[in-house]
Structure 1
C-alpha cells in the first residue's frame, strides 16, 4: 500500500547538503518488525549534530533524524506489539543510522521498542525523551553506588539543558539537596523552581585547577558537560562519592589526575543510554513513570513545536541557548 507522509530529512550527495520537510511513502521506510504512527519526538543534542553538514553521527544518507519517538503501532509482525498499542523508542541507531522520529511514520526492529510505561502519556514520554532517560539513568547509577538523600549536596552541571533540567527536578523530587551550575544568570529563577537550592556560575565549575584536589564539596554529581567541568567535579567530590558523566558539550578531553580516585575513592560512572541492556531500560522506564517522574515535566521543563520548527530547534540546541526540553508534535 502506498501512503504519503511528511518527514524532516537530511541528505548529502554530489549536489551538497540539504535539510527540510520532504514527502515520503511507507515503502521508503527501512526494514523492521513494527510500523509506528509517530505522535511525538523531541530535540536532543545528537539531533542537532545529525542535522548539520559534516555530521559526526549520521552513518548514511538520506536520514530522518529524531533519536526518540512515541506513537501508536499501525503494523506489527512481532507478537509482543499489537496494532493500536502505545509505544516508545530511544537510542539504538534511531535517527543516525536508521530513520528516526521526525516523520509521521517509523518502522523499527521490535527489540528497539518499549510499551508506553504506566504513569506517562506519549507527550510526557517525549518531554523526557532521550535526555530525561539519560538523566534518570545517571541518577540510578549514583544510587546503585551508594548515594542517598541526606548524604549531602548533589551537583548538576549544564543545568538548564535537557539532561540537566530533568536531573535537577528528579533529584529534588527524590529528596536530595541539589546544586545547579549554569552560565545563564537569567535562568536562576527557573532552576530554583525546579528544586535547586544553590546555583553556581559556569566559571566556578570550569576553572583551571591550582591543585590536584579541591575541598570536598559534593556527595555526587550528574555531568552532561565533560571537559574542565568534569575535571572540577572529580577534584571536589567527597570521599567515596560518584559522578555520572553523560555528555560532552564542554569538550571530550578531561584534564585530571588519578588523585581523586586513589586518595578519595571517587567513582566516575559512564552513562550510555543508546545501548543499555533491555532489563535496565525497561526498569528505568517504569521508574520514569513513578518515582523519577519530574514534577514540572510539561509545565516548566518542556515546550512544544511542530515538524516545521525542527530545523531551527536543532540549530539552537548546538549553541547551548535552549532551556529544558523541546517536544516535537508530529
Structure 2
C-alpha cells in the first residue's frame, strides 16, 4: 500500500505539471474527466505519466439477441448505440468494473489459500499476514455473526458474512491503486450484493419461523381489521433494508473518489502548477481517509447484513415459545444479539 501511495503522488504531480500548459485552444473538461473515470466503461485505460496519452485496453463485448435483429446498432445523437434489454438485446459485455470484481474474487480466494491455517498440527498460525487474517475472521464471526444472529444460528451464516466482508474490502481497496477502478462505486454492483443479503434474510426468516410464521409476521401482530394497512407497510419494509445497503455503500465509495478528482481538478481549472502545492496535499489527505473508509464500509455492510439476518431469525420468537423451542433458539440469547445490533446501527 505504501508503494501505491508513492506511485499515486508521482502520477498526480506529473499530471499537474504536464497539464499546466495545455495545447493552444484546448480547454480541460474537469467534470467530464471525473465522470469518465468514476463510471463504468468497456475499456481499461492505462494513462501515461507526463503526457495526455493513454493506452486503451478494449474489453470483449457480448450481446445476445432475444429476438431477431434486436442487437443491431442504431444511430443516435451520441453515435452508434446498441439497444438495451427493453428492446430485446441482452448485454453481457465485460466492463472494467467486471474485471475489478474478478480481481477481488481472485484476491479473496488467494488470501484464503495463502493465509488459512491448513496445518492442523499447529493451533496458532505463523506470520503477520496469517494472524491479521485470523483476527478479521474471528472478528466477523464473534462480533458480527454471533452477537447479531445468536450462538445457535450465527455460525451457519458466518461463511456468507466473511465472503461479503473480504469481497467488498478488496473491491474498495483496488480502486485506490493507479489504473484500477472501484467496482463498489457502481450502483449495479452494490445492488447485487444487497440482493444477496435480501434473499438470505428471507430464507433465514422462513427457516426460523416456517412459511406460515413468515407470512404471519407481515401482519405485524395487529388486529385483523388493520391488516390492509399493516401488510403493505411490512411488505415495503422488506425492501428498505436492501435499498439502504445499496445506497450507503455506493454513495460513500463514489463520493470519496469524486472529491479526490475534484481537488486535483483545481489544477486544471485554475491553470497554474502552483495550485498543486495546495490541492495535492489535500487530495493525499482524502486518499488516506479513503483507506479507512474502505474498511469501514466493508464492516458496515457486513454488520447490517448480520443484523438483518438476525431479525429474520428472530421471527420465530414473535409467534410464541413453541416456535423458539422447535427451532432451537434461546429467546434471551437472540434478543441480546438483536439489541446489540441496534446499538451498532445507532453508532454507525
Bigger relative contact order, structure 1 or 2 (CA pairs below 8 A, ≥6 apart) = 2
Structure (1/2) with the larger helix percentage:
2
Higher Cα Rg, which structure: 2
TM-score tier after normalising by the smaller chain length: under 0.3
TM-score, scaled relative to structure 2: 0.23
* Higher strand proportion (structure 1 or 2): 1
